[in-house]
């Protein structure tokens, strides 16, 4: 598409041609960063719910001066002679089809926080009807992920979106856009798809131009960055609290939420594990980033053959926003043995936390357990 942008520059500047984009993406800020990086100066519309109904991207449409589609994926060599220079008569045609947008979807696309829960509930309700409607499932998944990315989003919503997308895609395997949405959040594949591996380069180049890159809301996962997984049996890493000396978080200063995504290939089960570590807002708890990093240890697994991790010991950086009370997130892949149906993963978090502005600060251990179920 940036190729077409450059190819049509002269005609656009003369006013003979307009460009408009539609992105089939969950996160509009990433498309904004891409447009900023590539200098795309035309309107780009956001279609996270796949309302166009397209099953693949990219698609290029040549549309005449009367709004009639004249070609799908036109050839550049013939573009000027067979489209741009042709004067299309205002022929009689059918009226423009109206694509009704349910109110819940309009509210979600408008990022209306007051309508968020009602909109998600409406789309969940549509997805729970029988017979199962794959489009309704996909849309409910989009809604749940939007709520996960909103302030205070819970990992249960992310799990809901992963489950819905898997269901939608299994009902309609040819839907490439839906399949990519499922794969985007992991786990990494043997041949990773480079979803957003351009982000770091884009940010660096935009910064070098003296501009401020568009800030990204949701954290990029290893899968989105197309990092190839390197699994190790584990065991050579030193457990940070093997002797259980750190006092337990008995008052619930921290809550652990999780979501797991299994690969779509259906071969060796690989799970992408997403953990959200949330300080207890009711108790006014926040992380004490100055005292030290938050540590996550992925420990034992009650599965006979065990699991493989890429790393068992993780240190989480302070929140990007600098807000100590903000939740911390970790995405990590784990590989099960072929034929495994899943099992329980046990681990713990070691963290420095404080209660209130002048309150107590403590170093605590919070044990957690995550059920990994191969779908």
Partner 1 sequence: MIRCLFPLMALTITAPAQTYSWKVGEPLPDLRLPTIDGTRTVSLSELRGKKLLLFEFASW
Site for partner 1 in 61-80 (CB under 8 A): 61-72
Site for partner 1 in 339-358 (CB under 8 A): none
Look up residue 91 and give its two tokens: 């022929």
- Report, in Å, the least distance between residue 66 CB and partner 1: 6
The stretch near partner 1 (CB under 8 A) out of 15-23, 152-160, 307-315, 353-361 is 15-23
274 bridge partner residues: 259, 331
Q: Is there binding between residue 17 and partner 1 (CB under 8 A)?
A: yes
Q: Is there binding between residue 4 and partner 1 (CB under 8 A)?
A: yes
- Report, in Å, the least distance between residue 77 CB and partner 1: 15
Closer Cβ to partner 1, 80 or 190, answer by number: 80
Q: Is there binding between residue 367 and partner 1 (CB under 8 A)?
A: no
The residue from 107, 120, 124, 139 that contacts partner 1 (CB under 8 A) is 139
How far is the CA of 352 from the CAs of 187, 248, 301, 321, 359, in angstroms?
A: 30, 12, 26, 18, 13
- In angstroms, the CA 105 to CA 177 distance is 18
Fill in the per-residue mask, 21 to 60: x = in contact with partner 1 (CB under 8 A), - = not in contact: xxxxx--xxxxxxxx-------xxxxx--xxxxx--xxxx
The residue from 41, 92, 96, 223 that contacts partner 1 (CB under 8 A) is 96
Site for partner 1 in 159-218 (CB under 8 A): 177, 180, 184, 193-196, 198
How far is the CA of 152 from the CAs of 113, 120, 221, 245, 279, in angstroms?
A: 12, 15, 18, 32, 11
- In angstroms, the CA 286 to CA 318 distance is 11
Dihedral sign for Cα 289, 261, 310, 313, please: positive
Closer Cβ to partner 1, 150 or 283, answer by number: 150
DSSP summary character for residue 115: G
Q: Which residue has the tokens 């895609």?
A: 169
Site for partner 1 in 218-277 (CB under 8 A): 224
Closer Cβ to partner 1, 110 or 338, answer by number: 110
Q: Which of 104, 184, 174 is nearest to 136 (CA)?
A: 104
């Amino acid at each position: 598409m940036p190729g077409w942008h450059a190819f049509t520059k002269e005609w656009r500047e003369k006013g003979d041609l307009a460009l408009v984009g539609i992105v089939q993406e969950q996160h509009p800020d990433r498309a904004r960063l891409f447009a900023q990086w590539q200098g795309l100066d035309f309107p780009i519309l956001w279609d996270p719910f796949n309302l166009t109904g397209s099953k693949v991207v990219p698609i290029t449409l040549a549309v005449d001066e009367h709004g009639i589609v004249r070609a799908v994926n036109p050839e550049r060599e013939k573009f000027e002679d067979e489209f741009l220079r042709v004067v299309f008569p205002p022929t009689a045609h059918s009226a423009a089809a109206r694509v009704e947008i349910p109110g819940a979807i309009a509210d979600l696309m408008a990022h209306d926080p007051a309508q968020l829960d009602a909109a998600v509930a409406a789309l969940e309700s549509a997805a729970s009807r029988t017979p199962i409607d794959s489009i309704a499932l996909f849309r409910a998944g989009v809604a749940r992920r939007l709520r996960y990315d909103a302030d205070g989003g819970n990992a249960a919503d992310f799990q809901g979106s992963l489950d819905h997308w898997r269901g939608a895609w299994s009902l309609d395997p040819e839907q490439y856009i839906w399949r990519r949405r499922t794969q985007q959040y992991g786990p990494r594949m043997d041949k990773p798809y480079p979803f957003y591996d351009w982000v770091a380069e884009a940010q660096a180049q935009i910064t070098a131009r003296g501009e401020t890159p568009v800030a990204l809301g949701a954290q990029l996962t290893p899968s989105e960055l197309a990092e190839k997984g390197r699994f190790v049996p584990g065991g050579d890493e030193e457990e940070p609290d093997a002797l259980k000396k750190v006092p337990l978080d008995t008052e619930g200063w921290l809550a652990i939420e999780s979501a797991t995504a299994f690969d779509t290939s259906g071969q060796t089960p690989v799970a992408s594990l997403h953990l959200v570590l949330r300080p207890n807002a009711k108790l006014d708890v926040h992380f004490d980033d100055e005292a030290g990093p938050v540590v996550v240890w992925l420990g034992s697994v009650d599965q006979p053959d065990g699991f493989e991790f890429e790393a068992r010991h993780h240190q989480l950086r302070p929140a990007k926003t600098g807000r100590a009370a903000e939740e911390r997130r970790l995405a990590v892949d784990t590989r099960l043995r072929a034929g495994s149906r899943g099992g329980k993963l046990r681990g713990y978090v070691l963290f420095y936390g404080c209660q209130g502005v002048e309150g107590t600060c403590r170093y605590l251990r919070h044990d957690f357990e995550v059920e990994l179920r191969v779908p």
